[in-house]
Amino acid sequence: MEKQIFSSSISPLSIVQMNDVFASYDSKNYVLQNIRMSIQRGTNYAIVGQSGSGKSTLLKLINGMMNPSNGTVKVNYQTPNFHEKSFKKFIAKIGYIPQNLGLVKNTTVLENVMIGALPRLGSFKSFFKIFPDKEIADAYNILKMVGLDDKAERKTYMLSGGERRRVAIARALMQKPDLLLADEIVSELDHVTAIEIMDIISDAQKKFELTSIMVHHDMNLALEYANRVAVIKKGEKILEIGVEGDEIVDFQTGNLTQKEILEQYNESEK
Amino acid sequence: MNQKNNLLVGIVIAVVAVMSFDVGVDPIGFFEGLPNLGIVLKEMTEFEGDHWQTAFWAMLETIEMAFIGTVIGVAIALPLSLLASRNLNSKFVYAPVRALLAAARTFPSILWAILFVIVVGLGPFAGILAITLYTIGFISKLQYESIEAVDNVPVEATSAIGLTKLQLIRYVIIPDSAPHLISQILYMFDYNVRQTSILGIVGAGGIGFYIINYIKFFEYGKAAVFMLVVLATVLVIDWISVKVRDRYIVKSQTGMQIKI
């Protein structure tokens, strides 16, 4: 009965819906196979797997940077397509943090954050870096949230790894996103900094009622912060679990304890 | 492998020898003629002091020409190099722009100077036009190459959220290629001062006019004054550009190398 949840029927609440998706970079080897996924609004969704398992590709399918070779992807009920005007409008509200963050190193923190607002600002005024006062105030508020308001004028290349991630989060939040995609945002950080960064994201999620899809390497982190976790192995989704309180539910095999989930995950890593 | 290399070196030497014979390279003539160089050098040391002032003003004119040419050339080259970048445009845009830029760069500025002397007459203006044109061709090549080398991750990340191309250029491409641009402009100015120094030979203004005329009339002492001023100026400009580069460029680039 639980299987119904991620069957191909389109749920009215789902923000991302994938049906039998195959993806490939060279039309020979599939990076993703047979992916079915339904992500409800307001979910903190985590995708966990080894490097090379296709996690990043999954995010690229969602924001339209890549097209599936088979199957359908629906984001906000539409097929991601950069040339479609209505999707372009929506894409401005998909906060996207790639694995290498994609910050412009030679400009200030504030300018990097303002990039998030650019899609909704006029091309002409923004070319001369003229911003409405409200947008600048918003940027400072967001910088305060991530704890960087005192470094707004600092050049980005001068920041530490943790601070750069805060800038990337601030840029994504500046998009006033409906959906936040983050690719291994804390993988290279030490544990304490990783927790700090995750807490910032978690606070932002509550404040802005965000749906988030985050790729993780660390299962423990995913279980702690997400309320749904999908495990990807060699391009296939092998497990999808819901986390509520301390109870974990596997939609494929029934109830499991956290310990069993971790064991199963560790097994899949081998 | 080693034998192959030896063969290759042998072939190159043989080719140089054959070509030298073809164009009439004459080592004996060189050594026989060396005493003449001695005479020229001796006469050059007999400076004619009252020419320093003329030399100074002529050099100033040269620098002004080079400066105007560099600034206007760079201003025109920047938008053209954006059009010539393969990562920003379709083939139909960058291919013709590149062809145009290649044409501007094919001829040395002295040839352009001859052309512009015919167009606008003798004087510095013809020289400025020549320098501008050459600068456009040269710096836009350097610039579109550094634009194409811009880190792809920020470009992808910002395109993914729907930035327009103009915004992408303004907020990602230009900031990321700016350190190279400053370095290139300094180099170009340096190069243009040296180029402008000889444009006078074809009557396009600048200090070269004096040098070529004094040499023609065997007044090596006078020519030497002007040549020394050029040398001193080039050294000073070189020194200044090293300082500027240290101050602005090296700093930001070491910054960029910091790994997370």
Residues in chain B: 260
Indicate whether B17 belongs to any domain: no
- Closest partner residue to B256 (CB to CB) among A95, A126, A157 is A157
B211 vs A256 pLDDT, higher one: B211
> Which residues in A lie closer than 8 A to residue B179 (C-beta atoms)?
106
Question: Is the model's pLDDT at B259 over the cut of 60?
Answer: no
Q: Is A105 an 8 Å CB contact of chain B?
A: yes
Indicate whether B4 belongs to any domain: no
Burial state string for B103-139 with b = 16 or more CB within 10 A and e = fewer than 16: ebbebebbebbbbbbeeeeeebbbbbbbbbbbbbbbb
Domain count, chain A: 1
Proportion of chain B above pLDDT 90, given as a percent: 40
Interchain proximity A105–B163, CB inside 8 Å: no
Q: Number of A:B CB contacts under 8 A?
A: 90
Task: Specify the pLDDT at position B250.
Answer: 55
Long-range contacts of B1-7 (CB under 8 A, 24+ apart): none
Residue-wise pLDDT tens digits, A198-208: 999 999 988 88
* Cβ contacts of A172 within 8 Å, gap of 6 or more: A95, A96, A97, A116, A180, A182
- Closest partner residue to A126 (CB to CB) among B155, B167, B172 is B167
Average pLDDT of the residues in B78-104: 91
Pairing of strands A44-49, A179-183: unpaired
Pairing of strands A247-250, A254-256: antiparallel
Indicate whether B205 belongs to any domain: yes
Long-range contacts of A159-163 (CB under 8 A, 24+ apart): A159/A109, A160/B260, A161/A188, A161/A189, A161/A193, A161/B260, A162/A189, A162/A193, A162/A196, A162/A197
Indicate whether B97 belongs to any domain: yes
Task: Specify the pLDDT at position A2.
Answer: 40
Q: By residue range, what is the domain housing residue B128?
A: 49-257
Q: Is the pTM value of this prediction over 0.80?
A: no
Residue A10 DSSP code: P
Indicate whether B218 belongs to any domain: yes
Q: Distance between CA atoms of B226 and B53, rounded to whole angstroms?
A: 10
Domain count, chain B: 1
Question: Is the model's pLDDT at B198 over the cut of 50?
Answer: yes
Average pLDDT of the residues in A148-161: 89
Q: Which residue of A has its CA nearest to B165?
A: A123
Residue-wise pLDDT tens digits, B94-113: 999 999 999 988 888 899 99
Q: Distance between CA atoms of B144 and A205, rounded to whole angstroms?
A: 41
Interchain proximity B157–A175, CB inside 8 Å: no
Residue-wise pLDDT tens digits, A155-198: 998 898 899 999 999 999 999 998 999 998 888 888 889 999 99
Indicate whether A262 belongs to any domain: yes
Question: Is the model's pLDDT at B12 over the cut of 90?
Answer: yes
Task: Specify the pLDDT at position A257.
Answer: 59
Q: Sorting pLDDT into bands at 50, 70 and 90, what band is A4?
A: very low
List, as one string, the DSSP characters of A143-201.
Answer: HHHTT-GGGTTSBGGGS-HHHHHHHHHHHHHHT--SEEEEESTTTTS-HHHHHHHHHHH
Q: By residue range, what is the domain housing residue A67?
A: 1-93+211-270
Question: Is the model's pLDDT at A258 over the cut of 70?
Answer: no
Q: What is the CATH number of the domain that holds B125?
A: 1.10.3720.10
Question: Is the model's pLDDT at B255 over the cut of 50?
Answer: no
CA atoms within 13 A on the CB side of B255: 20
Q: Sorting pLDDT into bands at 50, 70 and 90, what band is B93?
A: very high
Question: Is the model's pLDDT at A8 over the cut of 50?
Answer: no
Indicate whether B18 belongs to any domain: no
A242 vs A258 pLDDT, higher one: A242
Q: Is A104 an 8 Å CB contact of chain B?
A: yes
> What are the start-end ranges of the H helices in B85-173?
91-106, 109-120, 124-148, 152-159, 165-168
Q: Average pLDDT over chain B, rounded to whole?
A: 87
To test the contact with chain B by mutation, choose from A63, A85, A97, A106 the residue with the greatest count of B C-beta atoms within 10 A, namely A106
Indicate whether B15 belongs to any domain: no
Task: Specify the pLDDT at position A140.
Answer: 93
Is residue A132 helix, strand or coil?
A: coil
Task: Specify the pLDDT at position A253.
Answer: 53
Q: Is A65 an 8 Å CB contact of chain B?
A: yes
Task: Specify the pLDDT at position B260.
Answer: 35
Residue-wise pLDDT tens digits, A90-113: 888 899 999 889 999 889 999 999
Interchain proximity B166–A123, CB inside 8 Å: yes
Interchain proximity A175–B161, CB inside 8 Å: yes
Q: What is the CATH number of the domain that holds A64?
A: 3.40.50.300
* Cβ contacts of A186 within 8 Å, gap of 6 or more: A165, A193, A194, A197, A198, A216, A218, A221
Indicate whether B31 belongs to any domain: no
Q: Which residue of A has its CA nearest to B174?
A: A106
Indicate whether A34 belongs to any domain: yes
> Which residues in B lie closer than 8 A to residue A104 (C-beta atoms)?
154, 158, 171-172, 175-176
C-alpha dihedral sign at B75, B76, B81, B82: positive
Q: Sorting pLDDT into bands at 50, 70 and 90, what band is A252?
A: low
Question: Is the model's pLDDT at A262 over the cut of 80?
Answer: no
Q: Distance between CA atoms of B259 and B181, rounded to whole angstroms?
A: 23
